[in-house]
Chain A
Amino acid sequence: MNVLRSRLLHAVLILIIAYAIFTFAIRPPAPRSVLAIYMGVVILATFVYISSNSDSWRNFLRPLRDTLVQPERRLVRLAVVIAIPILLGYYAYTQAAAKAQAPPELRAVHPAPPASIQFRGKEITIQGFDNPLRKDQANLRKNIAAGGETYIRNCMYCHGDNLDGKGHFARGLNPPPANFQDPGTIAMLQEAFLFWRIAKGGPGLPKESTPWNSAMPAWEDRLTEEQIWQVIMYLYDATGQQPRRWEAS
């Protein structure tokens, strides 16, 4: 029999290669649960492949059957019959002796923003609203510089000098401070969404976003409306990201 034609070998190779791709080629690494789903799909597909016709199926089973019945394979058979129970026993041991892990905190990171908020007694529209300071092109640099000052005095401790969420207090916070350099934060948010988040902070989040855990302060009482719009402009300028536009609805 040609070894390369062996369906069993095909199946094993497919599974190994798929596993290697999923674990090493996906960056950032996928969570284990996702990995399990991917592998499940691959196993199913492999099964469909080897059982596509009865020849292929028999080809797949033959080496397995041979190991179980052929007298000249006695040693292999013995090794398998001893090795598999030991491996499973060891696995059971690691499971039973494992130390408990803290359960993961699940939260909606970017919940739907409110239509409008009360800011120091004034109503400010959020949905569909744009940064009013952007119209003032003449003072663009001045506003960004002022935003930088507000940032370094207030936000740097958590969000970091480099806006990467690695301020010197960040290690103590869970959830961690947002990383503005990451394409998954401000680059996919509208400026008014940020206004809401900065004004109302962690406590202003809806329940699904675990407001009780977030250390993001509410800045409403400390920063003026203008200062918040300025600091938002600084976030985009310093990271080189573009704010998202509201979809016309």
Chain B
Amino acid sequence: MTIVSVLLIASVLLLSPRGVFAQAGDANAGKVVYERKCLLCHGEKGDGKGPAAELLVPRPRDFTSGIYKIRTSANKTPSDQDIFNVITHGMPGTSMPAWDVLPDRDRWNVVAYVKTFAPERFKEAPKKLDLPKEVSSSAESLKRGKEMFEAIECNKCHGTEGRADGPSRPELKDEWGQPIAPANLTKRWNFRGGKSRTDIATRLAAGVLGTPMPAFMDSVEKPEDIWHLTNYLLSLGPDDPRYATLITASAAREAIPDDPNAEFWKKMSPQNLPLVGQVVVDPRNFNPAIDLVAVRAAYNDREIAFHLTWDDPSESKAEPDKKIFADAISLQFAPATGSGGERPYFLMGNDADAVYLLRWEQGTGVAEMTANGPTKLQPIAGSEATAKVVFQNGQYRLVIMRALAAKDPSRPAFRQGVFAPIAIQAWEGGAGETGTRMSLTAWYYLRLEEPQSNRRFVVPPVVAVLTLAAMLAIVRAANRRR
């Protein structure tokens, strides 16, 4: 064999699409894996009625319907590779995890087995979807994409800026009659079928079967509009949330603006924290509405300000008869950090130890409070915190301010350079969240950064000069001794 042919084979192997490696699985072997790993959600009969089904949104897939949301095919039949990919990568943002921990063989066998739940569907072969020629992103492409976004009415469901707050949102139902939320296009790490350019273009072209998301291949004006739309969607949000591990408050020389849309805040980069459902105490919140809060913080010699940004599809005030509650958010601190790192229980304290809260509520505004548990809130008399909020296109932006110093021991003082515990809780009242039905973070640390000093420009030259002097001394000493 010549070197050329070796290179040729190698390049064919490397370049061939992953489908080439598709293997015909063994359904009987797949059944064994399925019953060990999948049954508890998808049910013994594959009907999606496992014991956890009614707690999950979206619900586990019913395989007997043969409807597969994530396809790369032009008709309703997914390819084996499509099913394999969903098993391998999971469905981000849902309780379907990535099963890449299972050997390839097992996954192919499961593919073969789940197909047996709806043999009718697979009589028709998957039809290959041909994406139009790729168009790279540019100012014109983005402009065209935005036009299309409005022309084919993506905004009706996904909202003007893509935050899943469109007017049709409340009416959306899936094939199984369950309410289904449109995707938040600014958080593409949660896209069920992946966030890459090709993934997104394929979803636009082929739609998401079983949901109100149609296939747009034929409704865009020109085929390449699929790519303009893709480029536009990619411009709506970051690729990755890059969650923060520490909240830093910057030192400000000037006055801190209370307007959430002020240039001051826009210049600061967000520190994103993931929020999760509260499932520790009853009633639990298995499907939280708010999964991320972006924090910006600044302080000067008198006050400290927290700028919070989070997505919420509707601005809700309390209407208890409609099961709608006030949207709310609270910043939680430890009144005093004990020696040995002791602090109150992360879930809003307990009977023995209270936490201190800066809690904002739609309609009532901000208040300083203490809490001895999620249902035992106690306003502090003479609250001195202030807040200003903006709600725009499915997003809250809120600035909460307070004096830096503490007036009494029930309030913590914020001190420079100290790692102080901080946590966040949030409620989407429009989705019925109130009380213990919230989303929250564990304890994080807040640190008030020292004002940018010149230390980093002074210390290194001093170190360098001292070392140089020492080196010269050594050379001289060595030569003198000779």
Contacts and interface: CB of A to CB of B under 8 A. Distances in A.
Given A101-B246, A212-B343, A152 B40 contact: yes
Complex A-B, nearest 4 residue pairs according to Cβ-Cβ distance, in ascending order: A89-B464, A172-B276, A96-B456, A169-B276
Interface of B: 36-37, 40-41, 50-52, 55, 94-95, 97, 99, 101, 243, 245-246, 248, 273-277, 279-282, 286, 340-347, 350, 353, 419, 440-445, 447, 449, 455-456, 459-461, 463-465, 467-468, 471-472, 474-475, 478-479, 482
Contact of A68 (B37, B341, B468, B479): B479
B478 to A, nearest CB: 4
A161 B95 contact: yes
Contacts of B443: 174, 212-213
Interface residues on A, range: 35 or more
A100 B248 contact: yes
12 contacts: A85-B465, A92-B459, A96-B459, A102-B445, A151-B40, A152-B51, A153-B51, A158-B279, A161-B97, A172-B440, A212-B342, A213-B442
Contacts of B460: 89-90, 92-93, 96
A81 B468 contact: yes
B444 A102 contact: yes
A100 B342 contact: no
Contacts of B471: 80-81, 84-85
Interface string A144-181: 00001101110011101110101111011110000000
Nearest to B97: A161
A77 B479 CA distance: 12
A70 to B, nearest CB: 10
A113 interface: no
A148 B41 CA distance: 11
A217 B468 contact: no
A157 B41 CA distance: 12
A100 B182 CA distance: 39
A65 interface: yes
Interface of A: 65, 68-69, 77, 80-82, 84-86, 88-93, 95-97, 99-103, 105, 148-149, 151-153, 156-158, 160-162, 164, 166-169, 171-174, 201, 203, 207, 210-213, 215, 217, 222, 238
Contacts of B419: 100, 102-103
A169 B291 CA distance: 10
Contacts of B474: 68
Nearest to B277: A169
B246 A100 contact: yes
B342 A172 contact: no
A152 B50 contact: yes
Nearest to B38: A161
Contacts of A90: 460
Contacts of A153: 51-52, 55
Contacts of A173: 276, 442
B346 A212 contact: yes
A168 B342 contact: no
B276 A92 contact: no
Nearest to B94: A168
Contact of A166 (B97, B273, B344, B478): B97
A89 B461 contact: yes
Contacts of B279: 157-158, 169, 217
Which of A90, A157, A213 gathers the greatest number of chain B CB atoms within 10 Å? A157
Given A153-B51, A212-B443, 17 more contacts: A68-B474, A68-B475, A84-B467, A85-B463, A89-B460, A96-B456, A101-B245, A103-B445, A105-B341, A172-B441, A172-B442, A173-B442, A174-B443, A207-B340, A212-B342, A212-B346, A217-B280
B414 to A, nearest CB: 15
A90 B464 CA distance: 8
B475 A77 contact: yes
A107 B475 CA distance: 50
A234 to B, nearest CB: 10
A174 B478 CA distance: 56
A88 B478 contact: no
B472 A81 contact: yes
Contacts of B441: 172
B456 A69 contact: no
Contacts of A149: 40, 51
A249 B336 CA distance: 44
B245 A222 contact: no
A92 B442 contact: no
Nearest to B445: A102
